[in-house]
């Protein structure tokens, strides 16, 4: 039986150290900007940006900052569809680092 080509194998690749570092940097940047925007610290992982006092204006400012940092336009609906820090961070990782599963 001939070997199965890698693209047809149903095996997940282990992320490289560089990919893991990029994922960690993305998470750190998003978390930092999120907390700065809300002027809050602590466990904000699972609370909605808007429940924590964020407004549509502060959300727009947050997305502009992140868009400039990542060189990727982040549409406002992305925050409404992924309102918690954990959801939003995972969404951005999926957009910015395709192929790496969000952890």
On whether the CB atoms of residues 52 and 44 are closer than 8 A, the answer is yes
Long-range contacts made by residues 22-26, C-beta under 8 angstroms, separation at least 24? 22/97, 22/100, 23/93, 23/97, 23/100, 23/103, 26/70, 26/89, 26/92, 26/93, 26/96, 26/97
pLDDT value, residue 102: 44
pLDDT value, residue 44: 83
Q: Would you mind telling me the total number of residues written for the chain in this entry?
A: 103
Q: What is the pLDDT of residues 62-98, one digit of tens each?
A: 999 999 888 889 999 999 999 999 999 999 988 887 7
Mean pLDDT along residues 27-37: 92
Say whether pTM exceeds 0.85: no
CATH class in words for 33-98: mainly alpha
Of the candidates 51, 48, 70, 73, the residue with the CA atom closest to the CA atom of residue 60: 73
On whether the CB atoms of residues 83 and 49 are closer than 8 A, the answer is yes
* Domain residue ranges of the chain, discontinuous segments joined by +: 33-98
pLDDT value, residue 103: 45
- What lies within 8 Å, CB to CB, of 75 at 6+ separation is 63
pLDDT band at 7, cuts 50/70/90? low
């Amino acid at each position: 039986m001939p070997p199965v080509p890698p693209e047809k194998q149903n095996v997940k690749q282990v992320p490289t150290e560089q990919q893991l570092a990029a994922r960690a940097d993305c998470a750190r940047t998003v978390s930092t900007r999120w907390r700065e925007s809300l002027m809050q610290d602590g466990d904000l992982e699972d609370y909605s940006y808007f429940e924590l006092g964020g407004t549509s204006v502060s959300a727009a400012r947050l997305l502009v900052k992140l868009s400039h940092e990542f060189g990727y336009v982040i549409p406002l609906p992305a925050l409404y569809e992924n309102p918690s820090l954990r959801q939003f961070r995972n969404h951005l990782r999926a957009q910015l680092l395709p192929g790496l599963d969000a952890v």
